Amino acid sequence: MTTSAAVRAERSDARTAEIASRVRLIVGRLSRQLRLHPAGDGLTSTQLATLATVERLAPLRIGDLAAAEGISAATMTRVVAVLEEQGLVARRADPDDGRACQVLLSEHGRAEVERLRGQRTGYLATRLRACTPEQRALLEAALPVLELIAQDEPEPAGG
């Protein structure tokens, strides 16, 4: 690689790192704002994330739910117990293994997830209304890139 090409590559890498840093900060701030406003009516962030995962992947076993959320099965068992006490999830016997159970959203849980999602979407829509039409158009144009970045990474081959 020529010296000028190497310099351009270094500048490109530095610019990419700068963009990545700004995106990380923005996403972190926005995530905190969405978690805090509106509050989940006493639900912890782990409980809210669990409800969303159950909605998306149910029915699933506690161990699979724990793996999806990146917490231990013992901790997930406690989280599910609280959610079940509140009537937000239900357990049923796993048809493939009578010793295990599967977790699903109850009707109340589904309604609660939809209500909270609507509140958060409304909050964000209010914030977006403060932007100019041009700013909203720029954000809309960036959505495919953000969606690409946010995609789940594929599982490594073999495991």
Q: What is the pLDDT of residues 38-94, one digit of tens each?
A: 656 688 889 999 999 999 999 999 999 999 999 999 999 999 999 999 999 999 999
Distances (CA, A) of 13 to 20, 23, 27, 70: 10, 15, 21, 31
Give residue 154's pLDDT. 62
Q: What is the pTM of this model?
A: 0.73
Q: What is the pLDDT of residues 87-146, one digit of tens each?
A: 999 999 999 888 889 999 999 999 999 998 898 899 999 999 999 999 999 999 999 999
In 3D space, the residue among 4, 100, 113 whose CA is nearest the CA of residue 60 turns out to be: 100
Question: CA-CA distance, 21 to 9, in Å (whole number)?
Answer: 18
Question: CA-CA distance, 113 to 105, in Å (whole number)?
Answer: 9
Question: CA-CA distance, 80 to 155, in Å (whole number)?
Answer: 26
Give residue 55's pLDDT. 96
Give residue 18's pLDDT. 96
| H/E segment holding residue 89 | strand 89-94
Question: CA-CA distance, 38 to 146, in Å (whole number)?
Answer: 24
